[in-house]
Structure 1
């Protein structure tokens, strides 16, 4: 199948965007498991906002292929729940191209079983969406799998992001 010149140009423009790496304002860190080295990641809402910018708010969608509760353990002594969940999510672009990936969520020591399940499922789905989106390119998080890049980007200090707020009275944005 031969692509029109316009389609080929659109694909090349999109690919050029996706090849860019995330800036430091999109990167967060947290302690590694067992006090190990810090983990570098991008928050779900930031990656979703980027996907909306790259593909358009109506240029992509996600669907849950599978959502499984892996375990619900109740500790009789502490009267607390430990819960884990796994999600498989498909991210589909307007043209039908898609990627799927798995995500995981867990919560330990929760007083409430329902809230623990809710949090774990949301975390698993968000993780799976992020992981599926990263398959489209560096800009949507794949660059974070490059350990050298991840180590260097966190050294750059960035000022806090200021968000534009909608003012209904003025029917405009103000920052």
Structure 2
């Protein structure tokens, strides 16, 4: 399917100059930009030898933040097709992405959320092709660097050994490494919520957590009426 030169490039380490970072919800996220992914695909696979299509684009939630801005979340599913040079073979990859638009008007918030969801899904689908599309950024054993500066360590507070808790608080002196990908919950960070790891579970903390239920449910969390918490079990092998 891929020639020797393409395989060599795909397996190379990701150039640190392509890695960007941004802070969300008191954590630092490492990522590569959408236009970078498209340019890299053009260089490795060639113009006309790959394409992507939007399989699904869904509006999943709408909130209003403390600044009276509209906060709208979208979910997208994107399929990527990569062809061999003579178009006799093809590989298909598909993944889901989430996007959040924050703006004064609903129209602008919808536009931002939809575009971000599609870009996120595209990047997640492309990462299955290797390091050049950011797959190595998901390897927690590697200390990635962005712009020649060390990536800050993202950490979460752990609780006593009980699966559900009350009065969840966030420790901003984080010194325990997280065992999941925080980028998946960026939509929650944008509406002022946080995600705390506690004994194999993820717990949502912050103000008005029930009022923001649509955004929380869209990320796969469930409501525990007894303890008044949103929770989600960590996948096995995530740590």
Normalising by structure 1, report the TM-score.
0.74
Q: Equivalent residues in 2 for 1:134-153 (5 A)? A: 134-149=127-142, 151-153=143-145
Measured after TM superposition, the shift of residue 156 of structure 1 is: 2.4
From the superposition, tell whether residues 84 and 24 of structure 1 become closer, same or farther in structure 2 (CA, over 3 Å): same
| Aligned match of 2:44 | 54
* CA shift digits 1:42-65 (9 cap, x unpaired): 111111111111111211100001
2:61 alignment counterpart: 71
* C-alpha contact 1:23 1:153 (8 A) present in aligned 2: no
- Unpaired runs of 5+ in structure 1? 1-6, 158-175
Matches within 5 A, 1:19-168: 19-33=11-25, 35-36=26-27, 38-74=28-64, 79-94=68-83, 95-108=89-102, 110-149=103-142, 151-154=143-146, 156=148
How far is the alpha carbon of 1:138 from its aligned partner?
1.0
Conservation of the 8 A alpha-carbon contact between 2:62 and 2:72: yes
Q: Give the number of aligned pairs.
A: 144
Report the aligned-residue RMSD.
Answer: 2.1
Residue deviations 1:58-108, cap 9 Å, x none?
111000010000012357x96532200010000101232111011110134
Counterpart CA distance in 2 for 1:78 and 1:29 is 25
Q: TM-score, normalised by structure 2?
A: 0.55
Which protein has greater RCO, CA pairs closer than 8 Å, 6+ apart? 1
The structure with the largest helix share of the pair is 1
Q: Which region of structure 1 is more displaced relative to structure 2, 138-147 or 62-71?
A: 138-147
* Unmatched runs of 5 consecutive residues or more in structure 2: 84-88, 150-239
For residues 41 and 78 of structure 1, what CA distance do their matches in structure 2 show? 27
